Structure 1
Amino acid sequence: MENQFDVIVVGELNADLILNHISTFPQIGKEVLAQDMQVALGSSSAIFASNLSTLGAKVLFKGVTGCDMLGDFVVSELAKRGVDTAAIVRNEQTKTGATVAMNFENDRAMVTYPGAMEQYGAEDIDSDLLRRAKHLHISSVFLQPALKRNLLTLLDQAKSENLTTSLDTQWDPAEKWELDLAALLPLVDVFLPNEAEIKWLTNQPTVESALQHIGGYSNTVVVKLGTRGSVSCHNAVQTHVPPFLNSEVVDAIGAGDSFNAGFIYRYLSGATISDCQRFGNLIGAISTTAPGGTGAFTSRSAVMKKAKDYFNYTEK
């Protein structure tokens, strides 16, 4: 069967309510004002899928929402960016999740209602669905306990169908970090944590020691370092790639997911790991030029114009 899609994304779906220009950070019992508010496509998986599609990849999303206004919004936003939404289940028994993001100075706080994402497992992802794509991306497993329980089976199934795979666990709200990396990572072609996540997952004090800790059973590991760029470990060689820095950051929501989209977009074309990192760094930086995780990604031409205008980057 010929692959209809470049990537199938399995993950959570929710909407973001973003509050900007907050006068001071909220305290219990006190009210503060935000000067700007936006409702945007949320969730790591959806931001990744949307931005990867905008870059030009053919993307299929497999997930679940409620049969409600937020679910309508999320599915509509994905479809607008060219993501195939036919495999998204609308469940009347649950509500679509939502995140309230409060941006303050150069950081943010978030409160998430998981909603439908807590109920979503991998039981209904069959081989026929996987065969339609070349690559499987999974994100936010700690927000999806049913998916987390079936993660090893899903990855094994994907590898048996000759898909390449990528995983971004994202943050664990419970801060337990219970994940069998030794079992999972041999089945993951590209592991995409950030600096804090890899240190917590491995119980190591530094990124370097964390990479060494999992080096015996991992394939390619790429760690997002924010304003310090990214570092990878591939074939026992660690490579640091410097960042593209935006001096006028609007917010950093979805910057890591955008990095993932840029990295995987290049990875699918057979580029070197360092080239994938560089493009990931660029796409992550472009994300910070507009509100929310997808605001900067209205079209591929608009993305590449921002690359030129903000970062003097031109595609070869």
Structure 2
Amino acid sequence: MQHTFDLLVIGDVNPDIVIGPLDTPPAFGQREQLVDTGLLTLGGSGAIMACGAARLGLKVAFAGRVGDDEAGRFVRSALTARGVDTEALRVDPVLPTPLTVVVTRADGDRAILTSPGTLSAGGPEDVPETLLTRSRHVHAASYFLLPRLAEALPELLATARACGATTSLDTNDDPAGTWAPGAGGIAATLAVTDFLLPNAQEALALARATAPADEAAGSAGTLDAAAAVLAAHGPRVVVKNGADGALLHDGATLLRTPGIPARPLDTVGAGDSFDAGFVAALLRGLPLPDALEFAAACGALSTRAHGGTPAQPTWDEARTAVARNGKNS
């Protein structure tokens, strides 16, 4: 089948307001606190991943939903400016575009406050079948923020695979903290997911939620054990672990990369840039160990500036960082 796009991203998009660092708790009582930096930029795990992939040279389409408001027009313009096709970015006539405020700390941690807006309404009708059937790879993001879409993901991803696409999923965090859909819905999604891309905290939580009752306690012990539990559901599991690099479990073999040394200015979106790098490397035909190393470089390089997209690397920049790291190791 003739492919129109290298990558279709299904997920969330919103403006991010990134401020910080703030090393004391936010002060209520109408107190004003000053921080060093503030930035209005493109946000949403799906959107940042799409932009990272386009920056790496892929032809990318995005499917999602925004409101009929200034925030929606801002994110559409930002995606288009970064080379992402937005024909499938639907406008909701009632609900507003989501909005996220990210408060950073000097130690790299951050608090994330999101007004969900259209996220609760996004569903399978937002994903044109022509994009599913004519994309080489389909990536879904923010599973727990998009409940209607999450319910439909098994069928959507199965359709893409039936037409020759590979698939990936980055669930991101569960704001409810229960990971409750994991016991049912997400297992069906994992069965049609080629690559699951959680961070370390998410991998542990997902493993506890999806492991058989007699294995749940053990699955919470180490990342290696959690990755094995998740791989048993079908996908190859790629776990992002910050400065400690990343690992990949294919159900039998465990691969690791120490990652690229970095002095991060801002880690917002680094995991999404990692996802973009991993998918781009796969579609370029790199073997899994090299794809893992390349993805880690993309994640590290994205931390050179504030916000998720401004410092995302090109293909040549990431390859140069990998080569330089190899010479120095």
TM over 0.5: yes
Letter in 1 for 2:88: A
**Alpha-carbon distance between aligned partners in 2 of 1:64 and 1:252, rounded to the nearest angstrom:** 25
- CA deviations on 1:208-243 (whole Å, 9 max, x unpaired) are 111222333323110001110000012510111111
Match of 1:213 in 2: 229
SS of the equivalent of 2:296 reads helix
Describe the shift of the 1:310–1:9 C-alpha distance in structure 2 as closer, same or farther (beyond 3 A): closer
Aligned length: 310
CA contact (8 A) 2:63 2:126 kept: no
CA deviation digits over 1:158-215, x for unaligned, max 9? Answer: 2222211000000000011122343222211111011111111111222111122233
SS in 2 for 1:63: strand
Of 161, 180, 186, the residue aligned with 2:191 is: 186
* Partner in structure 2 of residue 38 of structure 1: 39
Q: CA deviation at 1:104?
A: 1.1
Q: Which moved more, 1:51-60 or 1:182-191?
A: 182-191
Q: How does 1:281-300 map to 2 (within 5 A)?
A: 281-297=296-312, 300=314
Secondary structure (helix, strand or coil) at the match of 1:74 reads helix
Corresponding residue for residue 5 of structure 1: 5
User: 1:64·1:89 contact (CA, 8 Å) conserved in 2?
Assistant: yes
SS in 2 for 1:200: helix
- Does residue 113 of the first structure (1) align with residue 118 of the second (2)? no
CA shift digits 1:20-42 (9 cap, x unpaired):
23363314434321222110000
Tell me which amino acid in the other structure corresponds to 1:161: C
Residues 309 and 275 (structure 1), Cα distance of their counterparts in 2 relative to 1, 3 Å cut? closer
Q: How far apart are residue 306 of structure 1 and its match?
A: 7.6
212-221 or 88-97, larger mean C-alpha shift: 212-221
Of residues 174, 177, 194, the one that matches 1:175 is 177
Work out whether residues 66 and 91 of structure 1, in 8 Å CA contact, stay in contact via their aligned partners in 2: yes
1:35-114 alignment, distance < 5 Å: 35-106=36-107, 107-114=109-116
Displacement after TM superposition at 1:124 (Å): 4.3
Kept after mapping to 1: 8 A contact 2:260/2:321: no
Q: Is the 8 A contact 1:16 1:101 kept in 2?
A: yes
Partner Cα separation in structure 1 for residue 136 and residue 2 of structure 2 = 9
Residue 252 (structure 1) aligns with: 267
Contact kept in structure 1, 2:140 and 2:168, CA below 8 Å: yes
CA distance in 1, matches of 2:120, 2:139: 18
In the aligned structure 1, how far is the partner of 2:198 from the partner of 2:282?
A: 16
Distance 1:156 1:246, change over 3 A: same
So what's the TM-score if we normalise by structure 1? 0.92
Please tell me the residue identity of whatever aligns with 1:48: M
Letter in 1 for 2:199: N
Q: CA deviation at 1:246?
A: 1.0
Which amino acid in the other structure matches residue 246 of structure 1? A
Q: CA RMSD in A?
A: 2.0
Report the residue type matching 2:11 in the other structure. G
8 Å contact from structure 1 (residues 286, 307) kept in 2: no
Q: Which amino acid aligns with 1:210?
A: A
Whether the 8 Å CA contact 1:194–1:223 is kept in 2: the answer is yes
Q: 1:234 to 1:309 in 2, by over 3 A?
A: closer
The letter of the residue matching 1:137 is H
Give the stretch that moved more between structures: 9-18 or 216-225: 216-225
Contact 2:65 2:126 in 1 (8 A): no
* Distance in 1 (alpha carbons) for counterparts of 2:102 and 2:233: 36
- Counterpart residue number, 1:145: 147
Q: Give the letter for the 1:87 counterpart.
A: A
Following superposition, the deviation at residue 304 of structure 1 comes to: 4.1
Indicate the residue corresponding to 2:212 in structure 1. none
User: CA shift at 1:89, angstroms?
Assistant: 0.8
| Aligned partner of residue 101 in structure 1, secondary structure | strand
Task: Specify every segment of 5 or more residues in structure 2 that has no aligned partner in the other structure, as ranges.
Answer: 209-218
Comparing 227-236 with 53-62, greater Cα deviation is found at 227-236
Residues 246, 310 of structure 1: 8 Å contact kept: no
Shift of residue 308 of structure 1? 4.8
Letter in 1 for 2:278: F
> CA–CA distance in 1 between the matches of 2:322 and 2:248?
25
- Aligned pairs for 1:112-131 (under 5 A) are 112-131=114-133
Cα distance in structure 2, aligned partners of 1:150 and 1:3: 23
Q: How far apart are the structure 2 equivalents of 1:313 and 1:89?
A: 42
Q: Separation in 1 of the partners of 2:318 and 2:138?
A: 28
